[in-house]
Chains A and B, each alone.
Chain A
Amino acid sequence: MSSMYAFCDRLGLSFRFIMRVLASYPSRRVHVKQILEQIYRLGNETVLIILVAGSFIGMVITLQGFTNLAKYGAESEISGLTAYSIYRELAPVLTGILVAGRVGSLLAAEIGMMQINQQFMCLEMLGINANRLILFPRLLAVIVSMPILNTLFCLSAIMSSNVVCTVGLGLPEGMFWNSLQYQTLFMLDFMHGLKKSFVFGIIVAWIALFQGMYTSKDRLGLAHATTTTVVSASLFVLAIDYVITAISGGVMV
């Protein structure tokens, strides 16, 4: 029971934490400068990973799907099928997990280190609002970057799928794009994935920042914070993905 109590307590603590951070919108030029810096650090520098992952996934799904569709004579729809899976599920989830790994661990470690180094207390003594200067910019950076990374993942997957289809499977270029344009809906499929990635961004940033801020100051505190961030964020992404998919299951045609 006491562990249940402790769990609820921590959950409540993290909720109040995120509310505090969300309310800390920038009020000075330095804050805005920080936001841009963080977007660069957390967004731009994750682009390469996302593009590479996207292209591999695109190729794999295409090849995998092709053999299945060939059984039913529906090979021409391969690009539509690939894109459908990518837009709706694979892009947001994989982007979420990759970002949880790279950005999540980075944030948890960085904030945890600052906490251990008494830098937050120092900022308070200097009359500088750490929520606005440090935490909010990072939260916003992740939230802004996630949808962009998701889109880049989709694009990368489609392009690599194109290469596989035209060069490897002998599909005519026109059929590739035709199926793509008919089988996937922008609003219903792509935007669905985009909205998911937005939610995942909030989850990853929340968990990472919270774990960092509340690192225990013992020998293993930082390591624990980092690993917990990556694991919890990844699992949460998968769980929320299930919830969103289940809820919107009835909506799709």
Chain B
Amino acid sequence: MELLVKSLPLLARGAATTLYLSAAAIVFATALGLVLALLQLFGGLILRALVEAYLYVVRGVPLLVLLFAMYYALPYADIQIEPVTGGIVVIGLYFGAFMTEVFRAAVLSVPKGQWEAARTLGLTTPRILLDVVFVQALRVAGPPYINTCIMVVKGTSLVSIIGLADVTFIGKQIVERTLAPFEIFGAVAFVYFVICFALSRLGRHLEWRLNYVP
């Protein structure tokens, strides 16, 4: 138990790294997801095909493989990226694909009649998206979006395998030195639990606010 207390500072630093990685990856994945969803919905044939191909590949390949690919391949490709940035980019690229599907499904869930009514008033697609479709799509997108964010947080644990000092990596190091797996990994799990649980709480609150009709 005292081991746990002694390890707290280290674990806290790991937790901070995990938080940072998660936040950055979520931002990147969300932006990517929005762009790709719009391309998939409104883009030309070639663009749509490219997006579909990208989604197919990302969904069929494990995140760990992508991280390894980056880790091993980058030095050979003469690209100098900090491992942290590389990790964020790969995780963002990976979950961006999931976000794309979430956003696309949400936009498609808005009844066609809404589009027709807005067109009848003489509006064009960008305006309709912003004023009419966006709010309604948000309601549908909320829960699966939050779920995907939670997956991102859990996904950051994989960076421990390529040596980034997130909370999982630090936990593993401590366990290898001190052989107290239950306490330490328990604590590590607790860190993730707190972050993810907070996210799902946030999600439920947002859901409530978006659906409240005065």
Q: Do A and B bind each other?
A: no
List residues of A whose CB falls within 8 A of some B CB.
none
Question: Which residues of B approach A to under 8 Å, CB–CB?
Answer: none
